[in-house]
Amino acid sequence: MSWQTYVDDHLMCDIGDGHTLTSAAIIGLDGSVWAQSSSFPKFKPEEIAAISKDFDEPGSLAPTGLHLGGAKYMVIQGEAGAVIRGKKGTGGITVKKTGQAMVLGIYDEPVTPGQCNMVVERLGDYLVDQGL
């Protein structure tokens, strides 16, 4: 299965009532894009580096927020070293770290934070189980 298939079929899937995440991507820990939805924001390398750093140094994003594609998300509860969650207005972001990559999902209403967490973390957990 290609990485793009994971994004298209497992992240951008219908999560109920015809709703999907706004955008999603799988990005290597080195910042390389493995796959992304067409709507995923254009990001700067330093934004991905800052997200990656927060996995190594939990809490490093809290003072400044999580920035991606020029958008700023307030960092909310997550799982130190494994999951970062952010909120922006009626939407937000979930980032799950695997052994080699980060799975990112961005949502807006009517999708809920819990639905985004479930979709992103389920794929991330599967990739971890596969050694990826």
Q: What is the pLDDT of residues 72-84, one digit of tens each?
A: 999 998 999 999 9
Which runs of E-coded beta strand occur in the chain? 23-28, 33-36, 66-68, 71-79, 83-88, 91-97, 101-107
Tell me the percentage of the chain whose pLDDT exceeds 70. Answer: 100
Comparing CA positions, the residue from 54, 50, 89, 90 lying closest to residue 68 is 50
Please tell me the pTM assigned to this model. Answer: 0.96
Mean pLDDT of 79-104: 97
Instruction: Report whether pLDDT(1) > 80.
Output: no
pLDDT digits (tens, 9 = 90+) for 27-54: 999 999 999 999 999 999 999 999 999 9
Q: Do 33 and 106 touch, CB atoms closer than 8 A?
A: no
